[in-house]
Homo-oligomer: A and B are copies of this chain.
Amino acid sequence: MGRDQPLRYAGIEAGGTKFVCMVAAGPDDVGAQAKFPTTTPEETLGRAVAFFKAHEPFAAVGIGTFGPCDFDPASPTYGHIKTSIKRGWEVVDILGTFRRDFPVPIGIDTDVNVAALGEWKWGAGQGLDVVLYLTVGTGIGGGGVMNGRMMHGLIHPEMGHIRVPRISSTDEFAGICPYHGDCLQGLAAGPAIQARWGKPAEELPPDHPAWEMEARHLALGISNYICVLSPRRIILGGGVMQQRHLFPLIRKEVKRLLNDYIPSPMILERIDEYIVPPRLGDQSGILGAIALAQQTA
């Protein structure tokens, strides 16, 4: 690689439905990209390794992965996906697979932390000290970047699993979370909408009462995240948030719930700029993986 060329990085967005692989220096300098469905670990990781072999060299690898996954560098199973939800992926050493083939630094984190990093680096969260990224789709997951670092602690955030009040005390929908029943994910993820109304979310028209209810559930979660984390911006992605008419409903309900208690003009006057879609569109995750590779290098 010549001196004048910018360093390239490898990024992997490892999802339960599809994998995205990219070699890039940044959003405006993408060398190559591939997408393929998540099938068996052997086939899927084999395709990813083959893609990157064909596009060497790169300075580092960043992986944003579905989970649960072990992100504790001190653990013997660091970088292993351990999930009971996706068949065949009960224990898969995703980090080790790439380590065997690519002798460069490799970073790995949750899909949502990595998407938050992408939006912080190049998208709607640029320059902000606390950025929250929430995905609402098959599940609900939240990630964050605080002072330039992805959120970690005992493990990593599992924001979809907070408990929120019911909209109505007579609501008898049990929720679909296998662990918690009616946690936020159990009430408001895509499969919960489908279970409650008998149709996939994308088939419900914008004036269906499902959306008002969805906005109220999500607003309860978001107003709780505001009270706990005080984010500078909240970015909402994922399949359900493709329903753009949800945004004004959510913003209005968050304002109602907070009731002018948080004395910031971002909430009191400019909530349209506070709760926003990803600026990187559907590329937050894969560009976040490139950003993670840069941080890791």
Residues of A within 8 A of B (CB): 68, 129-130, 142, 146-147, 149, 151-166, 169, 179-180, 182, 220, 223-232, 257, 259-264, 266-267
Given contacts A163-B164, A163-B165, A223-B163, whether A179 and B229 have CB atoms under 8 Å apart is no
Would A180 and B261 count as touching, CB distance under 8 A?
yes
Q: Which of B130, B151, B160, B169 contacts A153 (CB 8 A)?
A: B130
Would B159 and A264 count as touching, CB distance under 8 A?
no
Given contacts A163-B164, A165-B166, whether A153 and B223 have CB atoms under 8 Å apart is no
Would B161 and A164 count as touching, CB distance under 8 A?
no
Would A179 and B231 count as touching, CB distance under 8 A?
no
Q: Which residues of B contact A223 (CB under 8 A)?
A: 162-163
Would A261 and B227 count as touching, CB distance under 8 A?
no
Q: Which residues of B contact A259 (CB under 8 A)?
A: 179-180
Given contacts A68-B263, A261-B180, whether A220 and B163 have CB atoms under 8 Å apart is yes
Q: Which residues of B contact A158 (CB under 8 A)?
A: 227, 230, 261-262
Would B262 and A159 count as touching, CB distance under 8 A?
no
Q: Which residues of B contact A142 (CB under 8 A)?
A: 228
Would B154 and A230 count as touching, CB distance under 8 A?
yes
A211 to B224, CA, bound (A): 24
Q: Closest residue to A267 on the B side, CB-wise?
A: B154
Q: Closest residue to A264 on the B side, CB-wise?
A: B154
Q: Which of B147, B157, B160, B161 contacts A149 (CB 8 A)?
A: B147
Q: Which residues of B contact A264 (CB under 8 A)?
A: 154-155
Would A159 and B263 count as touching, CB distance under 8 A?
no
Would A153 and B227 count as touching, CB distance under 8 A?
no
Write the nearest CB–CB distance from A256 to chain B, whole angstroms: 11
Write the nearest CB–CB distance from A268 to chain B, whole angstroms: 11
Given contacts A165-B165, A165-B166, whether A155 and B263 have CB atoms under 8 Å apart is yes
Q: Which of B68, B163, B266 contacts A257 (CB 8 A)?
A: B163
A129 to B159, CA, bound (A): 19
Would A266 and B154 count as touching, CB distance under 8 A?
yes
Most chain B CB neighbours (cut-off 10 Å) among A259, A264, A267 = A259
